[in-house]
Chain A
Amino acid sequence: NAGVTQTPKFRVLKTGQSMTLLCAQDMNHEYMYWYRQDPGMGLRLIHYSVGEGTTAKGEVPDGYNVSRLKKQNFLLGLESAAPSQTSVYFCASNIAGRDTQYFGPGTRLTVL
């Protein structure tokens, strides 16, 4: 039981490049979330999903897209990376109706 895993752990991009961050959970959780964490800021919600095939915008969705084609996976895409997207990205999941979220180890992304 790996819990929540994230791929990759680190990545450096050049401005304008695209990439996809993968989040996977093996706990059969219905809800999944993507957050970003910047120095001096709390975690901010980018997008979330309450089930396979459904996604919704969070607090800071601009510049990101997401997909939830399988219940266990939640993908975060950056179509054209910008330096302002340099951040640590955390994925989380939880059982529907329960508040406790379980976080992945994070992806450290630098955009030059």
Chain B
Amino acid sequence: RKEVEQDPGPFNVPEGATVAFNCTYSNSASQSFFWYRQDCRKEPKLLMSVYSSGNEDGRFTAQLNRASQYISLLIRDSKLSDSATYLCVVNKGGYSTLTFGKGTMLLVSP
């Protein structure tokens, strides 16, 4: 099992749609979890951290289920500017070495 697995994508959705991304991780000792966003040919940027209690930032909601080793990201009311690749990222602990999923591409169309 890969360390961090994501939906392969791409996801093609119309503006205004709600879209959910799923991610699973294999190391139960993982300590912290994130979603990064990467625009085409650009560097990854932190979108949000993910907590067991769930967290929301505007149209974005992230959830963590430690028992199932599952992370999700929900985007409501999709905008054209949300088109990007979303990376699920896990920190196993120690010196902040991150493990990245392959990413799921989102394409929002008018």
Contacts and interface: CB of A to CB of B under 8 A. Distances in A.
Contact of B43 (A33, A50, A94, A104): A104
Given A42-B4, A42-B87, A42-B103, A103 B43 contact: yes
Contact of A31 (B87, B96, B101, B102): B96
Given A40-B102, A99-B34, A99-B91, A45 B46 contact: no
Residue in A35, A100, A101 whose Cβ sees the most chain B Cβ within 10 Å: A101
B79 to A, nearest CB: 23
Contacts of B99: 42, 45
Interface residues of B, number: 21
Contacts of A35: 100
Interface residues on A, range: 20 to 34
Contacts of B96: 31, 94, 98-99, 101
Interface string B90-109: 01000111111111000000
A106 B9 CA distance: 24
Contacts of B101: 42
A52 to B, nearest CB: 15
Interface of B: 4, 32, 34, 41-46, 49, 87, 91, 95-103
Interface of A: 31, 33, 35, 40-45, 48, 50, 56, 58, 88, 90, 94, 98-101, 103-106
